[in-house]
Amino acid sequence: MYDPRITNGLELLFSQASEGGLETDSLQRKETVSNGFSALSLLGIGNTLTPSFMSLPRDRLGASKLCRVYLQNVDPIIKILHRPSLSKWMLDGASTYLGTSEDNNSVRALASAVCYVAANTMTEAQCQATFQQNKSSITTVYRRMCESAFEKAGLLTTRDMTVLQAFILYLIARRSEDKDTAVWALIALAVRLARAMGLNQENEQACARESFFQQQMRLRLWLTVCLVDLQTSFSQASEPLITHSGAACAIPNVAHINDSDFDMDTEHPVAPQEQLMDTTFALVTYHVQVAGRVLNFGSPECSTAAERHKLAREVQQQVFTLLHYCDPESSPYAWFTWHSTQSIVSAIRLSELLPFRCSQPGSCASVFSPRVEGDTILLRLALRNLEKAQLLCTDPRGSGFRWYITTPYLALSTAISECSTCSDVETVRRAWPVIEASYRQHDEFPISHDCQSAQAHLVQMMNETREKLSSLLQESGTGFNVGQAVEIPATDSLVPLVSAGNNPIDPLLSDPRFAS
């Protein structure tokens, strides 16, 4: 069990990490893997732990601290673990997790993955205050522990859902560190493992044998694999591996409930609730990713402008229905869910008019009807998306979830392009500070080699638009200098915050810009 008295292990691990003790020649390993798992090194998952490192006791106090961080920062967004079961094991000291010993390789992999992804959500200051170590040392230790556990658990041939859960958390954490193509390639492994486990199949006979608990955890894991697949395809400008139908079939059976409403012994389905639940934001992402596949990468069933508009409106209604009883002032999670959902809906509306595949340099041109001169719908939707992303990155209530937020490339490139051709000086004057702030934020994130051409195109477009607008904005007498640093307020005056009480809140009605 997790005994808080054992604390020296992690200190020694940090010491080895800082002294280079994690770097060893793989040819000198004493243990030989005979079943093909050594191929993990070819996938960028190298077990470079020294024997002394691997024999150290697990740091139970550090793991419990990171578990609390996980439950606060990660679990509300990535719903692949059962919160009470995880807490009982890593916080309360149970020696088993869902009936499996904590010494089992799959459970060890999960513990390391929980710690790894949690550490990645912390700031440098938080790491120093909590562990008296820099963030890179902490993440390096737990990343290597994950990789060691994956090798022992037989990742490449596993049919253990716990191992796949750990692997998905590992990929989410690693993606926040590395922007190269390694994670993109590893997503393909996760998708194949999920399919081999039958996570995506709704076989009636198999479903009849699984419990409500098993069903919910299976569906959540599959839809999270789908989500990561889509997110990675955007970041690498590539087609997703999973089709929209493969993701859509699982959503109707995911219950809108809290994790405390069920456990391993729950025999019958739990009725969905209308209030803000543990799964609310996750369900938002499940619905949106299906529409995102169709709108951005095409589908024969949704090829006309009318069909695309209908789909965008349907998913908007679906996700806003989940927020009817969400009071954004009630908790940081409620605040994040409220504003992040509105940001996501803006992105969907933008994709309806301008698919992601059509926004890339050298790709297809938009096949949709030309807009009337002076129409600013694309600029308004793009700005809405950027404003919300800025709010989520600056308001203290979103600090724990900031690791999940990135500057939306499509919205940023669209806003720059629209400002370049917009003749309304006042509209451009209001829009440009948001664009500048978003561009600076986007520029801070490292990009993969495969996306450098798109980044170069964005830089060129930004410089040309700055030059074009400089004289225009100066002539308007606004006193605003193109390229100046802009601070976005930490409060959002565009959306009135309504106290929920027992009355539903309609996010659609609270902001007239979604009414078009």
pLDDT band at 104; cut points 50, 70, 90: very high
47-56, 203-212, 333-342: which has the highest mean pLDDT?
333-342
Spatial distance between the Cα atoms of 292 and 244, rounded to a whole number of angstroms = 8
Reported residue count of the chain is: 516
In this predicted structure, the answer to whether residue 429 has a pLDDT above a threshold of 90 is no
Residue type, 117: V
- pLDDT value at residue 508: 45
Spatial distance between the Cα atoms of 62 and 119, rounded to a whole number of angstroms = 10
User: Could you tell me how far CA 353 lies from the centroid of its own chain?
Assistant: 24
Residue type, 369: S
Spatial distance between the Cα atoms of 372 and 309, rounded to a whole number of angstroms = 17
In this predicted structure, the answer to whether residue 18 has a pLDDT above a threshold of 70 is no
- pLDDT value at residue 415: 94
Helix (H) or strand (E) holding 101: strand 100-101
Query: Mean pLDDT, to the nearest integer, of 68-97?
Result: 97
pLDDT band at 422; cut points 50, 70, 90: confident
Residue type, 102: E
Q: pLDDT by residue (tens digit) across 327-385? A: 999 999 999 999 999 999 999 999 998 876 644 444 433 434 445 455 788 999 999 99
Spatial distance between the Cα atoms of 433 and 485, rounded to a whole number of angstroms = 8
More confident: 303 or 486: 303
- pLDDT value at residue 153: 94
pLDDT band at 497; cut points 50, 70, 90: very low
Q: Are 169 and 117 in contact (CB under 8 A)?
A: yes
Q: What is the CA radius of gyration of the chain?
A: 24
- pLDDT value at residue 447: 56
Q: pLDDT by residue (tens digit) across 26-46? A: 333 333 333 434 456 655 666
Domain positions in the chain are 1-177
More confident: 70 or 362: 70
- pLDDT value at residue 182: 85
Spatial distance between the Cα atoms of 3 and 15, rounded to a whole number of angstroms = 22
Mean pLDDT, rounded, of the chain:
81
77-91, 319-333, 350-364, 378-392: which range is least confident on average? 350-364
Spatial distance between the Cα atoms of 87 and 220, rounded to a whole number of angstroms = 18
Question: DSSP for 153-194?
Answer: HTGGG---HHHHHHHHHHHHHHHHH--SSHHHHHHHHHHHHH
- pLDDT value at residue 360: 47
Q: Hey, what are 296's tokens?
A: 């951005």
pLDDT band at 312; cut points 50, 70, 90: very high
Spatial distance between the Cα atoms of 233 and 6, rounded to a whole number of angstroms = 42
What end-to-end distance do the CA atoms of the chain give, in Å? Answer: 56
Query: Mean pLDDT, to the nearest integer, of 455-468?
Result: 87
Query: Mean pLDDT, to the nearest integer, of 68-86?
Result: 98
Spatial distance between the Cα atoms of 220 and 255, rounded to a whole number of angstroms = 10
pTM above 0.75, yes or no: yes
- pLDDT value at residue 221: 98
